[in-house]
């Protein structure tokens, strides 16, 4: 009997299909873990960007993460409410708001990074350490090709 849940072999023969399905599954698992904490993936992305790149103008942060500016404002409202980020208006240009990661934000980022690592461990469980490194290198190469990012 054929598994009614099985993906069509003509699709699983496509690497892009496998990438898409694997990515959706991994994203869903991580989103579910964050939701238990009443957080979303965007909270993690904002905290990571501020940690990696330092303070940002709110609009520049929205551009960097490809988030609609109004959605970014909501995400930052939630993070600021919990003391994870500080937002300060530029005295020279009142329209410009600079966002900075706080110590509480760094602590939360460390917890979310650990959650992400646990999900990654579960998703990549069938692979050896060498295979994981190879997969990362290959995906990084494709990512760089598609985005132009180094």
Asked if residues 150 and 144 have their Cβ atoms less than 8 Å apart, the reply is yes
Confidence of residue 9 (pLDDT cuts 50, 70, 90): confident
| Angle between helix 41-53 and 69-81 (nearest 10) | 80
CATH number 1.10.10.10 given to 19-147: yes
Q: Is 114 left (phi over 0), alpha (psi -120 to 50) or beta?
A: alpha
What's the pTM value of the predicted model, to 2 decimals?
A: 0.89
Q: Is the pLDDT of residue 2 over 80?
A: no
- Domain range annotation of the chain: 19-147
Contacts of 1 by beta carbon, 8 Å cutoff, 6+ apart? none
| Residue 8: pLDDT over 80 | yes
pLDDT tens digit sequence for 94-132: 788 999 999 999 999 999 999 999 999 999 999 999 999
- pLDDT tens for 25-71 read 999 999 999 999 999 999 999 999 999 999 999 999 999 999 999 99
CA distance 65 to 71: 11
């Amino acid at each position: 009997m054929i598994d009614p849940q099985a993906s069509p072999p003509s699709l699983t023969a496509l690497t892009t299909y496998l990438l898409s399905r694997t990515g959706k599954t991994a994203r869903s698992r991580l989103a579910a873990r964050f939701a238990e904490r009443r957080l979303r993936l965007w909270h993690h992305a904002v905290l990571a960007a501020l940690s990696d790149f330092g303070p940002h103008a709110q609009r520049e942060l929205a551009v960097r993460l490809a988030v609609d500016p109004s959605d970014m404002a909501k995400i930052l409202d939630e993070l600021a409410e919990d003391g994870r980020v500080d937002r300060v208006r530029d005295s020279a240009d009142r329209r410009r708001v600079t966002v900075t990661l706080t110590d509480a934000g760094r602590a939360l980022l460390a917890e979310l990074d650990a959650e992400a690592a646990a999900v990654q461990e579960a998703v990549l469980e069938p692979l050896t350490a060498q295979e994981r490194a190879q997969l990362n290198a290959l995906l990084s190469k494709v990512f760089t090709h598609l985005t132009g990012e180094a």
